[in-house]
Structure 1
């Protein structure tokens, strides 16, 4: 295959009904992603259900289009994904396209690992002007764009309405009564346990960061954060109040702190818990499960994360797709093929939003198709209350410290004083 300049190759990536130039014929690229595996994804994202099958159907459709490009998917587990990606970069063999989060952009861009795409997006048929302002900010570092945004995702309140109704926690019109203070949260939990025998709240409080994200939301709702610039600010009244809010529930027997992600989810689907704190990514899946007569969860509802303190807030992040800087510098044909795949993924933003994730393209957000997605109106305000920690090149290590130390409070009995002190020391060293 003849070699092309980067500019010329990038211009060949313009998609038109799946078509790209013959110059890219028989080009194979790899894509690294999490989201799980789907053996029977097919190539129609409009009929696929759940994250794994929807993303794989988008990729399959691109590979099967008449564009001469084949995409090989390299699925990995979520909890080890960044270790594998960093190992691949260190070995000089990263995927040609890979997914990442907003909080990782600063780290990878500062290291020079991922390519600046700013000047090549338009030529690939990607209109960054159609991205929401928050999406542009998420994929940018300084004046450059380093990825194509895919979604906004956030922590929501997933609800078994049958349990809440039995506990007397719905209004006369059938709408959900949300707690508006730690005291009301505890009262609701007591009512659920006494009237139904079920747990009130479930999440992954033992392995992944999901439970810590619940605490972060409560910290932000008190107008505090865990660090500011290069100074750690974790040990304060807001953090201690957030921790006590959770441990009060655990100590009273209203929360099973031993659940990991899968166990918490299964308990919710089995009708064993009233509320599951989990993300936007499962809305489509839970709705489909609730429609299955063999699944105990029957009356499914989802809503914005409730405000227990002064300021509405919930944890949120952005999925995006990046390309290695080495690919842009050394392989114009594959770089062009990677841009073509990014353009395809960008065009399928509405299909991805079926999962429950919030779209990033203005044209999708404003469309009737998006507005009519199941449950979309139930958490429409989530985009307005989305929060995350400040950008940091050490975010991954900071998150690991938070998970280790905060979980030790309810899993091993470590004192709040010791856990916060140890966490502050480690985070300050990282900052």
Structure 2
């Protein structure tokens, strides 16, 4: 049944893309495929990027600005997809022939495409455009490179954060003298503080997506393994270290968060955000991408969240690590793409690169050192509160099928709070599921 639904979804997407990108398009119309949502109703006419907020708003306004101001007559036509289905839909375009001219891609997914020669090499085009690769932070350039060839324009580093409702933390007596939140320094402290918080406020201490394919707790699980000095996957992508004593520590802690009633297991991703904004959660575990949105809404005064702060995910074990990934822009390989379309696609990449500061307003960390060093970046709200996240950021190795590994972990880990599966049984199932995926890399 799931396979049938996926095929139906792929067929629908193909039909939509054919209608959008088909033969009636002008020579310099370029197709842009992405997630980040559809907010045309709010930002469809906005070309002043400073008036936009959040990932969807900012990328929509940037696209509008490029369309309005470029001097080559290029027009970017956007097609959006849900994050969970995005890569299946992108892969399908290579079969249908409706390959987008520009697309967003996670660094963790790039090997699935670059290793199969499905991306346009960008080393020379980037140099010709005058984009200075020595301005990229080394990790970002490494993520965009395979076999000494650049295949993507790095655009951000995003990672898990603790988003904090300070009014609730004050009520729970979990605030330092300097006004910062008191956060745990060990697994035991996390549970102790959670119980104290719940007793004082009657609210959930932790908020997180727990019902959908976002897999926020998989990202936390990976974080907790790295903090114990264990690599979730080997560098060559052939072995996993999930069913280990360190893995059991992480699984037991996550299970306890739910079993002790410190988190609501019934929340999907939108629900977890809404609960935080409604003042029902002390700490929301979510990524850098939420900072601008939550800050804007708290300042607007229309939600229960008023005193908003951000914190690095706390170090609960020996090492200060946190899950991270990167968004990048790619030009999917299409031998039938016209020279005019290629030039327009590259011009759009150059425009996005020149305006990368605007993207960093979302809360994401810029991949360009010049932006990170700029006064305007340092002046953005809350950046000092999670400054250590950049140096603590840790990613899974860039291997094929990394997204499949992630998906394999989600169902089994979620079973701990959805069906009451024992942590040890959960680890065994996760290890087996991941090993089945990794066998494809051997």
Query: Normalized against structure 1, the TM-score is what?
Result: 0.92
* Kept in 2: contact 1:36–1:75 (CA 8 A): yes
Partner of 2:334: 326
Q: 2:143 aligns with which of 125, 134, 138?
A: 138
After superposition, the C-alpha distances for 1:99-132 in whole angstroms (9 at most, x for unaligned) are 0000011110011111111111121232212111
SS of 1:151's equivalent? coil
Q: 1:46 aligns with which of 41, 50, 53?
A: 50
Partner of 2:425: 418
Q: 2:259 aligns with which of 251, 258, 265?
A: 251
Partner of 2:6: none
Partner of 2:224: 218
* Kept in 1: contact 2:409–2:433 (CA 8 A): no
Q: Measure how far apart 1:423 and its partner are.
A: 2.3
Partner of 1:36: 37
* Kept in 2: contact 1:205–1:212 (CA 8 A): no
Partner of 2:154: 149
Cα distance in 1 for residues equivalent to 2:371 and 2:383:
13
After superposition, the C-alpha distances for 1:367-413 in whole angstroms (9 at most, x for unaligned) are 10111011111111100000111222011211111001111122112
SS of 1:286's equivalent? helix
> Are 1:82 and 2:90 an aligned pair?
no
Q: Measure how far apart 1:214 and its partner are.
A: 1.1
* Kept in 2: contact 1:26–1:68 (CA 8 A): no
SS of 1:156's equivalent? strand
After superposition, the C-alpha distances for 1:401-431 in whole angstroms (9 at most, x for unaligned) are 1001111122112233333222222222221
* Kept in 1: contact 2:176–2:182 (CA 8 A): yes
* Kept in 2: contact 1:149–1:319 (CA 8 A): yes
Partner of 1:192: 197
Partner of 1:204: 209
SS of 1:103's equivalent? coil
Partner of 2:388: 381
* Kept in 2: contact 1:26–1:70 (CA 8 A): no
SS of 1:326's equivalent? coil
Q: Measure how far apart 1:312 and its partner are.
A: 0.5
> Are 1:264 and 2:272 an aligned pair?
yes
1:92-131 correspondence to structure 2 within 5 Å:
92-131=97-136
After superposition, the C-alpha distances for 1:55-112 in whole angstroms (9 at most, x for unaligned) are 0111111111133000000111111111110111222222100000000111100111
Larger CA deviation: 306-315 vs 32-41: 32-41
Q: Measure how far apart 1:239 and its partner are.
A: 1.0
Q: 1:400 aligns with which of 385, 397, 407?
A: 407
* Kept in 2: contact 1:34–1:75 (CA 8 A): yes
Q: Measure how far apart 1:26 and its partner are.
A: 5.6
1:6-85 correspondence to structure 2 within 5 Å:
27-39=28-40, 40-41=42-43, 42-65=46-69, 66-85=71-90
Cα distance in 2 for residues equivalent to 1:430 and 1:155:
25
Cα distance in 2 for residues equivalent to 1:225 and 1:272:
35
After superposition, the C-alpha distances for 1:290-342 in whole angstroms (9 at most, x for unaligned) are 01222100000001111100001111110000002225x74222111111000
SS of 2:262's equivalent? coil
Q: Measure how far apart 1:232 and its partner are.
A: 2.0
Aligned residues: 406
Cα distance in 1 for residues equivalent to 2:411 and 2:125:
41
Cα distance in 1 for residues equivalent to 2:95 and 2:231:
33
SS of 1:282's equivalent? helix
Query: Which ranges of structure 1 fall in alignment gaps of 5 or more residues?
Result: 1-24
SS of 1:95's equivalent? coil
Partner of 1:287: 295
Partner of 2:379: 372
